[in-house]
């Protein structure tokens, strides 16, 4: 089922929790609502569930306007953060409960519940009660119960937050498997960027109730629309270095050191030459430059940390700390001065005032195309 939000807003007293949200979620996709606490992601989920009625705007399930349709008639399944299982019931009875409420014959309900239990790999636990299960097993029961009515939309409200790191990894893989097996449109609320990047077909990133970006995981990571998106995604976080634009608009100069960075195409004339910019470079997009004649940024190494199969090097550019991820066999020691190169097209230029990414805008692409035409 396709989900369409048209200018959806939700206001509580004087607080606008969601502000004019416009998004279309394709049928059969898994979409993560991502953002910091208080960004409006859970409020958006509760509007989809029918627990909140939007203050304004229209919410469509397919072609049907559902603003005034009660939750029980929306054909949704929902898994809450605490799973909300009935402690006195067995696993089988917990899964059967929604069918019992719909007065489905017991034999048919039991058969459907067993099918769902098999899908989520808990068919050997049907006689146990929730208190006898691990966190991961309880979550599987909650998912089976949400799916047993064959909903057209599955809503997951931070379902992994109560699990330890190993179980979180296992269960996000399971959620993806189950979603692909059923083909149900699924919306997954999380504040964990790693979960969103690993599990989603698309990510809706929000801040202060407002839309920031709606893209596939790789696209939103590689092509952030603004500084907030770039900073929120990525661990270690993106490096941000103050800079100004040069006269030819093909280079920017770092404010603190005067080093020059070549741009892939000229920045729009809407950007003033003396306007403060931020160069965004992800740690993995810096590499050790051994050729002194090539462009790069240099600094004094503060610390070298082992992070699994790589080293995380922190170094100073002027008074600003910058991080780079380098191979384990790279010979770098504390106190050493090292020069790092930048991969072409693997950095970003943000306007300091509004955070806009100046290397992804339409006007810049037009400028690039125009310059190519002039060369021809």
Domain edges within the chain: 3-230, 231-375
319 contact partners, CB below 8 Å, separation of at least 6 = 256
Pairing of strands 185-190, 30-34: parallel
Residues in the chain predicted with pLDDT less than 70, given as ranges, are 360-376
Which of the 8 DSSP states describes residue 269? T
CATH number of 3-230: 3.40.50.300
What distance in Å separates the CA atoms of residue 338 and residue 297, rounded to the nearest whole number? 8
pLDDT score recorded for residue 81: 82
**CA-to-CA distance for 288 and 299, rounded, in angstroms?**
11
* Matching fold, domains 3-230 and 231-375: no
Give CA–CA dist 130/119, Å, rounded: 18
pTM, whole model, 2 decimals? 0.88
Place of tokens 């000229």: 266
Is the CB of residue 20 less than 8 Å from the CB of residue 57?
yes
CATH of 231-375, one of 3.30.428.10, 2.40.50.140, 2.70.98.90, 1.10.1240.10: 2.40.50.140
The answer to whether 197 and 334 are in contact (CB under 8 A) is: no
Q: How many residues does the chain have?
A: 376
Give the pair of three-digit tokens for residue 262.
Answer: 């070549």
First-to-last alpha carbon distance for the chain, in angstroms, is 48
Bond prior to 327 in cis (omega within 30° of 0): no
Per-residue confidence (pLDDT) for residue 25, from 0 to 100: 97
pLDDT at 332: 87
In our burial notation (b when 16+ CB lie closer than 10 A, e otherwise), range 149-164 reads bebbbbbbbbbbeebe
Contact between 171 and 129 under an 8 Å Cβ cutoff? The reply is no
Residues near 110 by Cβ (< 8 Å), separated by ≥ 6? 92, 96
pLDDT at residue 362, rounded to an integer: 39
- Quote the pLDDT of residue 266: 85
**What is the pLDDT, as a whole number, of residue 367?**
32
């Amino acid at each position: 089922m396709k989900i369409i939000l048209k200018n959806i807003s939700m206001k509580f007293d004087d607080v606008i929790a969601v502000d004019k949200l416009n998004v279309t979620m394709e049928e059969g996709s898994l979409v993560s609502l991502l953002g910091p606490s208080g960004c409006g992601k859970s409020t958006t989920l509760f509007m989809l569930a029918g627990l909140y009625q939007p203050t304004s705007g229209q919410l469509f399930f397919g072609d049907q306007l559902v603003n005034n349709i009660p939750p029980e008639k929306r054909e949704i399944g929902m898994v809450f953060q605490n799973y909300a299982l009935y402690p006195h019931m067995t696993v089988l009875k917990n899964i059967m409960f929604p069918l019992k409420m719909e007065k489905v014959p017991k034999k048919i309900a039991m058969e459907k519940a067993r099918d769902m239990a098999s899908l989520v790999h808990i068919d050997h636990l049907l006689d146990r009660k929730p208190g006898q299960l691990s966190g991961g097993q309880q979550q599987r029961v909650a998912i089976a119960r949400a799916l047993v009515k064959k909903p057209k939309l599955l809503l997951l409200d931070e379902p992994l937050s109560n699990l330890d790191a190993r179980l979180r990894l296992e269960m996000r893989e399971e959620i993806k498997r189950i979603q692909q097996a059923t083909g149900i449109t699924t919306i997954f609320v999380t504040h964990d960027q790693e979960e969103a990047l690993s599990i989603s077909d698309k990510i809706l990133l929000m801040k202060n109730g407002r839309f920031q970006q709606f893209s596939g995981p790789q696209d939103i990571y590689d092509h952030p629309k603004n500084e907030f998106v770039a900073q929120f995604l990525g661990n270690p976080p993106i490096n941000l270095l103050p800079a100004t634009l040069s006269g030819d608009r093909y280079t920017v100069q770092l404010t603190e050191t005067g080093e020059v960075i070549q741009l892939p195409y000229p920045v729009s004339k809407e950007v003033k030459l003396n306007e403060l910019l931020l160069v965004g470079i992800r740690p993995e997009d810096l590499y050790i430059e051994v050729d002194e004649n090539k462009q790069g940024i240099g600094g004094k190494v503060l610390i070298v940390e082992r992070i699994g199969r790589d080293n995380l090097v922190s170094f100073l550019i002027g008074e600003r700390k910058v991080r780079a991820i380098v191979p384990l066999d790279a010979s770098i020691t504390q106190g050493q001065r090292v020069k790092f190169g930048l991969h072409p097209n693997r950095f970003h230029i943000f306007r300091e005032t509004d955070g806009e990414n100046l290397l992804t805008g339409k006007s810049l692409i037009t400028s690039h195309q125009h310059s190519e035409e002039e060369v021809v």
